[in-house]
Structure 1
Amino acid sequence: MIRRPQNTLLSAVALIGLGASLPGVSQATEGGGTSYPLGAENYLSGAMPPPGVYGQLFVNHYEADNVRGNDGDKLPVDFRVRANAITPRLIWVSDYSLFGASVALHAIVPLVDLKVELNGQSQSKQGLGDIIFGPALGFHHSEKFHSTLALDMIAPSGRYDRDDLANTGRNYWVIEPVYAMSYIDPNGLNLDAKLMYDFNRENPATDYRSGQEFHVDYALGWGLGNGWVLGIGGYYYRQTTDDRQDGERIADNKGRALAIGPSVKYSGTNGWFVTAKWEQETQVRNRAQGDAYWVKLTVPF
């Protein structure tokens, strides 16, 4: 009989995308941001816990002071962005099963503090971001290997104005299929990958439709046998199709990025755990380049 992990949660985690608009600057996807916060996940992204109700709290800080063009060179703009988010997430793992997997639902409500500076202009916004929700199926293949299938919906609930530098929402729906997997060994190798593909709808305020996006949050570490896992984590991002505005394709504008940095996890008693990481972006194309800091606390109710 396969034992389920007692201190893990399903994947399909998302917080906020960067709601900064950069008028006059060529950027992949509208405003150069994403609806999913790249690199949000860490260890245990693909393992679903036993039936019950679980809470998570994400704390995130992101900052960048340069924008990269299609060739990877820094663009000649005076730019800086600072984004903070405190984001609660509620997860319900049911007693029901489907195709041999546990059925779960989750909802995420991000609270955002954003400041953007561009060529002498500056704007700040605080408030609700875009809410994420969806169902998931959790599979337990062995004592150490687990996976999750999910379908996230990202709703345009955040504040948006097409003429603003800073927006806490992106003003369009996103459909995001998710597959996540986790290999968990408290005394050895820990490997996690959360694969996502974004189908962006059109922004009705601008007639702009951002291209489709593929991205992976990953973590690789070694368990020390005392609750600690030490290693690295980050994300890989690549835009797969061109943006379109008023039905016309925008060429040579696809985004790309790779991020990596130190990552750590500590598992306590009674099923709670905390993860933390710092990730630095590199190999960036048509996007802002910066650093992100993440802390995630998970507590069973």
Structure 2
Amino acid sequence: MAVRRLGLAVLSCLLATPAAAQQVPQTVQLPNGLNTGGTSFLDGFTRTTPGWAVVPYLTISHLDEIKDANGDDVPAFRRPRIDSTLLLTQVAYATSYRPLGGVLGFTALVPLVNLDASFAANSPVRLRDNGFGMGDVTFGPYLQMLPVMREGRPVFIQRFELDAVAPVGKFDRDLDLNQSSGYWSVIPNWAFTFLPTPEWEISGRLNYVYNFRADKASNPPPIPGFVFRNGKAGDAAWLNFATSYQVAPTLRLGINGYYLQQLRDNRTNGVRVADSKQRKFYLGPGTSWQIDQRNILNTNLYLPVDVENAAAGNSLNLQYIHVF
């Protein structure tokens, strides 16, 4: 099932090459809330019989570094602290239709996001947040394939999904950190789970995001002679990955992570912003607790390994799955 996890965008050319080397300032970045690490263990599985499922997510992030294109701290931000709390509710429905040997379903996700940013009193640049509000809504169809069985047990299962992201969340042009990205995006993804043994599982989700043109931006930099007309975030690809081992009948322990690479630079007024591509690599431990046949709780901690052109810090994700 799809889930979008809050990814805070940090504005301005301070996160790209030095201002003197740029033709235009950076005005948009990758969408807020990309599913970087929001899903992990046994990701390829969801229900294959008609019915509903509800998945609440709680993600708490503490970002205390802002990195430039070389992965170094941006000196213009002193003692940054960008805290965010995301409460995401996903509703999914599996239909009785079985095209191509799979189960057709539909999903929708509605996020509520609280932002809280602060900087040192002597910080040359500060970012202002938009407080509490609703984020952008994700919705789309998916095709859940039936499991591949060997010796009476599942060994491989996969799902294909196509999501649209509607920019209906809270947005203030005069603030730097908003719940909404301010533009439409399309995200196709492929989720899978492979079980080499009954106790050991390997899961992943390969994602791609295409971003449409933005006609509004979060607090464009006040550069003399510059007028913002439009912006476009470059497309990106990323992989969520996880592996776990069943140490008890209802408990799995494992590791989880994700790697994101932006494929094209961002654009402002149709002009490429040099060295504006993001890269993120996170790793951490996790657990999966099967409370009963209808309820599962996943816990994932993500720690930064390599980050470029983005804010960095620790993130804790709680995922509760209930199947009706």
**What TM-score do you get using the length of structure 1 for normalisation?**
0.90
Residue 2 (structure 2) pairs with residue 25 (structure 1): no
Aligned-partner residue type, residue 83 of structure 2: R
Q: Could you list the runs of 5+ residues in structure 1 that have no partner in the other structure?
A: 1-10
Contact 1:16 1:130 in 2 (8 A): no
Give how far 1:264 is off: 0.5
Aligned to 2:191: 180
- Paired residue type of 2:59: N
Take 1:13 and 1:238, find their aligned partners in 2: how far apart are those partners?
19
Q: Structure 1: how far apart are the matches of 2:308 and 2:95?
A: 42
Secondary structure of 1:299's partner?
A: strand
Matched residue type, 1:241: R
Segments of structure 2 that go 5 or more residues without pairing to the other structure are 17-25, 218-229
Residues 86, 129 of structure 1: alpha-carbon distance in 2 compared, 3 angstrom cutoff: same
Structure possessing the higher radius of gyration over alpha carbons: 2
1:72 counterpart residue number: 71
Match of 1:136 in 2: 142
Contact map agreement 2:130 2:172 (CA 8 A) in 1: no
- 1:299 offset after TM fit, Å? 0.7
Q: Secondary structure at the match of 1:109?
A: strand
CA-CA distance at 1:183 after TM superposition:
2.1
- Give the Å deviation of 1:141: 2.4
5 Å matches for 1:103-122? 103-118=104-119, 119=123, 122=128
Q: Counting strand residues as a fraction of each chain, which structure ranks higher?
A: 1
Residue 308 (structure 2) aligns with: 285
Count of equivalent residues: 290
Counterpart in the other structure of 2:242: 219
Distance 1:238 1:249, change over 3 A: same
Query: Would the aligned equivalents of 2:257 and 2:284 in 1 still touch at CA under 8 Å?
Result: yes
Q: Secondary structure at the match of 2:14?
A: coil
The one-letter code of the counterpart of 1:115 is D
Q: What secondary structure does 1:148 align onto?
A: strand
Deviations 1:257-286 (A, max 9, x none): 110000100112232111001110121111
What is the rounded CA distance, in whole Å, between the counterparts of 1:187 and 1:75 in structure 2?
47
Residue 293 of structure 2 aligns to a residue whose secondary structure is helix
- What's the secondary structure of 1:96's corresponding residue? coil
TM-score between the two structures when normalised by the length of structure 2: 0.84
Amino acid at match of 1:204: D
Q: Which amino acid in 2 is paired with 1:39?
A: G
- Asked if the contact 1:130/1:154 (under 8 Å) is kept, the reply is yes
Identity %: 25
Flag the 1:204–1:122 CA change in 2: closer, same or farther, 3 A.
closer
Q: Which residue number corresponds to residue 208 of structure 2?
A: 197
SS at match of 2:46: coil
2:47 matches 1:49: yes
